[in-house]
Each structure stands twice: as C-alpha cells, then as structure tokens.
Structure 1
Amino acid sequence: MNYHKPTGIRLIYAICLFASLSLKAQDSKTKAPLREPDYNKSKIFNSLPASIEVSDLDLQTLVAPGTRKSQEISLPLASGKLSPFTGKVAYAFSNERMRTVTVQSTSFNGAVLTLSSVPKSDGTVRYTGRIFSYQHGDAFELQQKGDHYYWIKKNLYEMMAE
C-alpha cells in the first residue's frame, strides 16, 4: 500500500513546527533577568562598628501605632554614642498581629530601614529588621542576644537571594 501524504498536510506540519519554535524563543526572552551579585560594591556603613546595641524602647517607639507615612524619625544607635539613623517613613502598617515600618534614610544615602514587631503569646514583643541599600555591599540585620537587640553588620548578599 502506498500512503502518500498530500502536500497540504506537509505544509501544516511545517507551520506547526515553526510556530512551536517561535513560541519557545519568546518564552526564553520573557524570563526575568537575574541580578548577579556584585561583591565589589562600595560599603555605606564603613564608619559604623560590626555590632550596634539598640534599646527595646527605641524600637518600640519606631513601630508605634502613631507612626505615619512621611513622618521624620530618628533611631538612636548605641545609646546615643553614635550618630542616629534618621529618615522619613515611607510605609507604616499596624494591626493586632504585627506592626511594620519602612524608613528611607536621610543620614545614609540610599539606605532603607525595615522594622517589624510581632507580639508573642507571653506578652513580650519580638522585633525583626534590616538596614540595607541595593547600591552598596554592606547591611545590618537586627538580632536578639539574650534580652538585648543588636544591629549586626553583614554582607548584603548574605541576607538576600534571587
């Protein structure tokens, strides 16, 4: 038996093949580009120590329910021994489960402070936060050690992943 395929069928196969290849090429173009780490970025926090103590009261004041967008803030560092972190509130959110504030710095060009507080079942409050700048290679992460909170200096890429 001779199974001869008409020319029209071959043309349809060719069109389908071409269409599928062009769709695949478009998919590869629409993928989001990765931000490759640049380990040679300048450091914005060179003048600050590797660990800076911050009081619970200062953190509590920063995430207080009265904190509003565009409000000027000043966060004392090392009990006032270092220049404070100053800035303008860019975002403030508060509900019964969490409070969060984001501050664009006026004291460290390009830096952003994010701080959240979460009440625990025992009545205490847990704080998490970071100070960083995408244009620079160093950052701070808020860590609790015992009953005290500290801003700990880190490499920006230790804290962030694609």
Structure 2
Amino acid sequence: MAKALLVATAVPALLVSTSAAASADGWVTWKNQKSGLYLTADSSGGVKGDWAMPGVNETGYQWYDTSNSDGSYNESNGWGMCLVGYYRQVYTEGCNSRRDQTNWWQRWYEISTSSGWKLKNRQTGWILDDEGHGGIYANSGDYNNSNQRWK
C-alpha cells in the first residue's frame, strides 16, 4: 500500500517538472544562437537584433516573461510594450502584460529544443527568426536552424 502511494504521488510531480517553460515570471534576455545578437526593442515599437551591453539601454533588450494559463508567455519590455507576431512582421505595441490579459498575437510559446529555445507565436504558429544582421521577423516554417533558436 505504501509503495503504491509513493508511486501515485511521484508521477504527478514528474509530469509537472517535464512540462516547465523557459522561465518563471521575471526578466529575461533572448540572444540569437547564430548571430549572437539580442532581441531588442525601441520605445517606438521597432524590434531588431542588436548587441547589448549591461547597464546601457537595458530597457531595450530585457523582456519581462509573464506566463499565461494556455502555456504561452507575454514578452513585455520596460516601456510597457509587448512583442507581437503579425505573420512575418515582428514589432511591439502597447499591452496589458498581466497574466491572460494579452491577445493571441502578443503571446509566445517558449519551446525547449536541443539547440536552444524556439519562440512560437500563439496566433500564427510562426517562429521568431533572425536574418543574421539585425533583422527580426517570423517565419512560417520551423527549419530547426540556429537563426530560429534563442538562449
């Protein structure tokens, strides 16, 4: 009986630990695996890949991860803007970044892969991509390459 109880309590804990997302709610940075550039945003809504220097414009390259009940995350910056994926276009716009308060265009699944994190837009299913020299966009296919992986 005690052995059955031990197994019954261990299985739910195992299931919870294997479904963890990239992070708990908190500040993160997203660095592209191939280019080494960080996902950054400016106060006017533009998004690009750029070099980040700690202490310099931290508002632009740090993102606040807020988990939603559907398993997605809001990526908001210090200006109160959320990362948006509108098919190929990626930009920021004003949002209410609290849990479950954003629309699906502003939500991203953070999917762990063997080569880094894949950021998949909730509305479109498109994958966040870096063209290699600072251009950020979303791609309709997951080509499992380092341009589409973030750390």
Structure 1 or 2: more helix by fraction:
1
* Largest Rg, 1 or 2: 1
Higher relative contact order (CA 8 A, sep 6+): 2
**Both proteins in one fold, TM over 0.5:** no
* TM-score normalised according to structure 2 size: 0.32
